[in-house]
Structure 1
């Protein structure tokens, strides 16, 4: 059973492991969007966006609701927004550490 939980977690994070998918999720954190709106905001081809949305949908990270001829996408769980914010804080902390190290190196006597 524990192994299946780790597999679920690994699959979930694999779904997030693409820059375009992260950007799509950031857009959806701001509110529900149609495929066309996402494409426009990303300035990306429809097929590329649709492929990445399919990955997120298949891993139950987002879901789409058909409204007439348009599909509107939403985050499956609003905690995704919190997860992305925490990831950004971790990234910022890492950068701060790297900047401090660089400053120490620059201040070392030759």
Structure 2
């Protein structure tokens, strides 16, 4: 029996629900990176990073290629970068709305003489 689409989507978002995984994906948008560079860019223990990379690899979000003693990770495709862009756009819209609301509140407080 197959999983309903909404459950598959929920599983995808659960997979992306950790800041380290999001940061790894963001870093890989600039191109493939060896593990040592990822470690230098993310404050996480090597074993923790290894576990997150394994989750991303199993899910098909990233690929891993061995180059000698070094393992280099890359995004599995352009759709992952597109998903990250969409998230950035949604957050920009949300924060813009909050900024506008804050401005209105500050104007109301200044006009009423209250703080």
| TM-score, length-scaled by structure 2 | 0.85
Q: Who wins on radius of gyration, i.e. which is larger?
A: 2
The count of corresponding residues between Structure 1 and Structure 2 is 110
Aligned partners of 2:24 and 2:67: how far apart in 1? 20
Partner of 1:86: 86
- Does the residue aligned with 2:66 lie in a helix, a strand or coil? strand
Aligned partners of 1:8 and 1:34: how far apart in 2? 30
Partner of 2:18: 18
Q: Is the 8 A contact 1:64 1:74 kept in 2?
A: yes
Note the residue ranges of structure 2 that are not aligned, 5 or more in a row.
none
The CA deviation at 1:43 is 4.0
C-alpha distance 97-52 of structure 1, shift in aligned 2 (>3 A): same
Instruction: Provide the alpha-carbon RMSD of the alignment.
Output: 1.8
- Does the residue aligned with 2:28 lie in a helix, a strand or coil? helix
Aligned partners of 2:19 and 2:38: how far apart in 1? 14
Q: Is the 8 A contact 1:11 1:59 kept in 2?
A: no
Taking the TM superposition and a 5 Å limit, the aligned residue runs for 1:19-98 are 19-98=19-98
Note the residue ranges of structure 1 that are not aligned, 5 or more in a row.
none
